[in-house]
Structure 1
Amino acid sequence: MPVLLLAVLAAAGWAAWLLGPTGASAIVEIPRGAGAGQVGRILEENGLVRSGRAFALYARWRGVEDKLQSGYYRLRGEGAASLLRDLTGSGEQVMVRLVFPEGWRAVDYARRLSGAGFDGEGFLRLVNHPPAEWTPAYVAGPTLEGYLFPDTYDLPRGADPELIVAVMLRRFDREVTPERVEAARRLNLTIHGWVTLASIVQAEAGSAEEMPWIAGVFLNRLDAGMPLQSDPTVAYALGKKLPELDRYAGDFEVNSPYNTYLHTGLPPGPIDNPGAAALEATLHPKRTNENGLPYFYFFHAGGKLYLSSTFNEHLRKLNRYYY
């Protein structure tokens, strides 16, 4: 047998051994954005392959380097081909990674959970009717809306609604520091009032940079006894998205405590689940212009926020940009 052929056969045998079954099993986490090299190292460290580098080369040769999916997997070392199938969509994850964006309502979170195979309806029932014995004392509203902290969560597949809600509440609790409680108190806000206002700021702001200014306007209005007149609160009262509001259909006349056109003060509770930026901005508002006059009005035009201290100034700006 020619020497070259022997060398080829030996190399092929060596590669087959490197990429072949190891008999090991393990639960592993594949991080988001991990390339074939990093995935190979994780598999090697857990005894699932003999060479992570060989696995990475094999993944590239198979053309699936960019198809490796993040998450938690229960894997068996049955060979590189089997592992590739599991990590590119065929394997069942033992944990499911879900992103819950800031500003979404509980009903939106429930839909995301249902889409991922969880009990979204049970989750929503629990949020809307939380047991008093494990509801945080600072939740003074009728539901847990606002306290389901927006974040990326790794959830056990098949987790029941109680566990999911508890995980979200524990994550929110990290935001309630003594310093923030004191900052809210200086603004005449309870924790519940702070979160409620932050949810409105979240819904109104086009960017994080706008949030302190919008928070300042609403705090000035609260102090002056003026209605907040926030469209997102009306949308929440009707179960609508903001673009669906119809003034001519009487939406702004809806008799709801969440309608901040009809009622002064804050609504009974948050209207969405605010993120860290909105929570922080609400405690550090920007309330006045360069002359020290408080802002009471704002609107958006052309991607920019316009603030005014008087109603006449507000009307002049509106006429300039909209008429």
Structure 2
Amino acid sequence: MTDRDVFLPVGAQPTLEDLVDQAVTAEELGYDRVWFPETWGRDAVTAMATTAERTDEIGIGTSIANIYSRSPALLGQTAATLQEASDGRFRLGVGPSGPIVIENWHGMDFGNPLRRTRETVEIVQQVLSGQTVSYDGEYFSLDGFRLRCDPPEPAPPVDAAGLGPKAVELAGRFADGWHAVNYTRDGLRERLEDLRRGAELGDRDPNDLRVTLAVGCCALADGERARELVAQHTAFYIGGMGTFYRDNLARQGYEEVAHEIHDLWQEGDKDRATTIVREELRDQMGAAGTPAEAREQLQQFLDIDGLDAVNVSFPRGAEPDEIHETMTALAP
């Protein structure tokens, strides 16, 4: 059975207390895991530590912690501490994010994100093993240190996010799972082949990798409002978050649509960009409408072979009561 997770918008909620209350509600509703993103709002670590204290069973993880703002060693230390704080419920998701966040917010050179992701994953895994870390890479060279505290038992899994074929292949080769976002159902199936190829290159069993897909969801009594929120959210990522999501959609057979949405958004015509999302992508991306409509659409993602978890993700414009209504309507 495919797990049903929740992706919480860390920065968009009025208070930290509101955010943690949503995680508590997710546990009460039977969701398997709650994921915390980290961009330029609240930091994910504080939110997860608070959630670990307030919950008992639900899994907790990052989706994603970027690989630039913390050193790999610190990411490993953080993962070890959160595994302890949550009594073994933590899962670390890492990825490069994109130049807009890394260069404009963190002021760092984006460089080669594939190589940096690989090195980060490998170093974090060494840190979590409790052994002395020795690593000589293109970005990081470490030697002579180990965790001063006992390593977590078991060590938390380390997942990698990725969009393009090589990034997904890298996740299959080196990480414990893959985080996918902004995929059509057909596009996801194609990338799953890249994940399997990566696992084979790493002499690993693809069935041991956890594949998590974030799906933009909104289930409201006002179905029209729900559809508009998800369309706006999708258009924002394709049009306003650099070129990575645009290019990812283009690779999935929507090249003309992807570039049109991106160009319109950049020109300031956000309404038209959102309309195109609704007209061209409604049947392939997201689950939105009345509760019955959204549940039916979400089930189409849950039925994808090779997918281990669907991450119910809320549109950035949703109010707290709309998030609660959606979370309740789409609960396992």
As a proportion of its length, which structure holds more strand?
2
Shorter-chain TM range is under 0.3
TM-score under structure 1 length normalisation: 0.25
TM-score under structure 2 length normalisation: 0.25
| Larger Rg computed on CA atoms | 1
